């Protein structure tokens, strides 16, 4: 049995002192924009899989256009998952950027589970990268121990590496996620013993 950890970007990860636990896992999955340098004590440094929406993938794979992005060195060392179903031009561009014809992305079933579990009657039907990653990991590592770290129950989301970042959802927000619904659904998954908080 392997150990898998999905590391979210919540500000709640700071002062957790769980970095060594994260790095001891067989597979470490990180989400979208993240930083490890200077935060190793709390979130570790190991990275095996990066799961991101298309915009983050473009930044990772274009060091000339996005020199400030800090993970260009990982593009040939890690596996990438897409947090969104890619079709047409976006899928072709993704394959071109990665130099790989295989792009791991959420199945219809994983997407439906996330929507049914956390987005009933919510105004925007768009699960977060973190929730989709949990759904993908449950199917891809069915016999392994899955942990989450750096997730929280806050409606106003902060990022551990960006003191100025605040994601507060409101109707009409083009990036709106149902944080309350997602946390309740994640709690049900935890209660079912399919994942564990690290």
pLDDT band at 124 (very low <50, low <70, confident <90, very high): confident
As given in the structure block, the two tokens for residue 12 are 């709640």
Q: Residues in the chain, how many?
A: 198
pLDDT tens-place string over residues 17-48: 999 999 999 999 999 989 999 999 999 999 99
Q: Which residue has the higher pLDDT, 132 or 97?
A: 132
Number of domains in the chain: 1
**What is the value of pTM for the model shown?**
0.92
38 φψ region: left (φ > 0), alpha (ψ -120 to 50), beta (else)? left
Secondary element (H or E) of residue 157: strand 156-159
DSSP bridge pairs for 162: 159
Q: What is the mean pLDDT of the chain?
A: 88
For residue 132, give its domain range. 3-197
DSSP letter assigned to residue 169: -
Cβ proximity of 9 and 33 under 8 Å: yes
pLDDT tens-place string over residues 151-175: 999 888 888 988 887 777 666 665 6
CATH number at residue 78: 3.90.1480.20
Statement: residue 94 has pLDDT above 90: no
Per-residue pLDDT, averaged over 173-180, amounts to 78
Statement: residue 115 has pLDDT above 70: yes
């Amino acid at each position: 049995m392997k150990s898998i950890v999905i590391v979210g970007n919540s500000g709640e990860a700071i002062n957790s002192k769980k970095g060594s636990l994260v790095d001891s896992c067989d597979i470490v999955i990180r989400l979208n924009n993240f930083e490890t340098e200077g935060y190793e004590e709390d979130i570790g440094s190991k990275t095996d899989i990066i799961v991101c929406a298309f915009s983050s993938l473009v930044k990772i794979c274009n060091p000339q256009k996005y020199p400030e992005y800090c993970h260009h060195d990982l593009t040939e060392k890690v596996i990438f998952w897409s947090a969104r179903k890619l079709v047409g031009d976006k899928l072709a561009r993704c394959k071109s950027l990665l130099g790989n014809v295989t792009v791991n992305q959420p199945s219809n079933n994983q997407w439906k589970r996330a929507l049914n579990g956390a987005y009933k009657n919510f105004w925007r039907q768009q699960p977060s990268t973190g929730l989709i990653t949990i759904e993908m990991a449950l199917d891809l590592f069915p016999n392994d121990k899955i942990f989450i770290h750096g997730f929280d129950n806050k409606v106003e989301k902060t990022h551990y590496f960006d003191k100025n970042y605040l994601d507060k959802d409101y109707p009409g927000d083009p990036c709106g996620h149902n944080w309350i619904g997602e946390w309740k659904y994640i709690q049900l998954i935890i209660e079912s013993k399919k994942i564990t908080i690290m």
